[in-house]
Amino acid sequence: EVQLVESGGALVQPGGSLRLSCAGSGFTFSNYDLNWVRQAPGKGLEWVSYISGRSSTIHYADFVKGRFTISRDNAKNSLYLQMNSLRVDDTAIYYCARGSAPYYWGQGTLVTVSS
């Protein structure tokens, strides 16, 4: 069974940093592209970042360029999102999602940016 489990969400002050993780299981991790997608409270889906299976291709949404960094460790079956210079409007549930569709989604981890 394919599983994606996010962790690392927390309450952080504006300007702070946070690192999210996503653990994959039930599939050959390195074979699949991965995405981070977020959803602010009561709002729609918003794509954040993409990384290819071997990390050769990376894309970011304009609103996170220069602040967020996506990475993966295929040996650990893990995806990461390093978030710096966090803003109040980064408050959201962050989902990791597998594939170009994306096909499988994790349950999400809540990031709250507030003073």
Partner 1 sequence: QSVLTQPPSVSAAPGQKVTISCSGSSSNIGSGYVSWYQQLPGTAPKLLIFDDNKRPSGIPDRFSGSKSGTSATLDITGLQTGDEADYYCGTWDSSLTARVFGGGTKLTVL
Q: How far is the CB of 57 from partner 1 (least distance, A)?
A: 10
Nearer to partner 1, 50 or 80 (CB): 50
Closest CB to partner 1 among 37 and 83?
A: 37
Q: Which is nearer to partner 1, 5 or 14 (CB)?
A: 5
Residue 30, phi-psi category: left (phi > 0), alpha (psi -120 to 50), beta (remainder): alpha
Q: Least distance from C-beta 59 to partner 1, angstroms?
A: 6
**Burial letters for 46-82: b for 16+ Cβ neighbours within 10 Å, e otherwise?**
eebbbbeeeeeeeebeeebeeebebebebeebbbbbe
Instruction: Summarize as ranges the residues that interact with partner 1 (CB under 8 A).
Output: 35, 37, 44-47, 50, 59, 61-62, 95, 97, 100-108
45 forms beta bridges with: 39
**Min CB(35)–partner 1 separation in Å:** 7
Cβ atoms within 10 Å of 83's Cβ, excluding its own: 24
Q: How far is the CB of 42 from partner 1 (least distance, A)?
A: 11
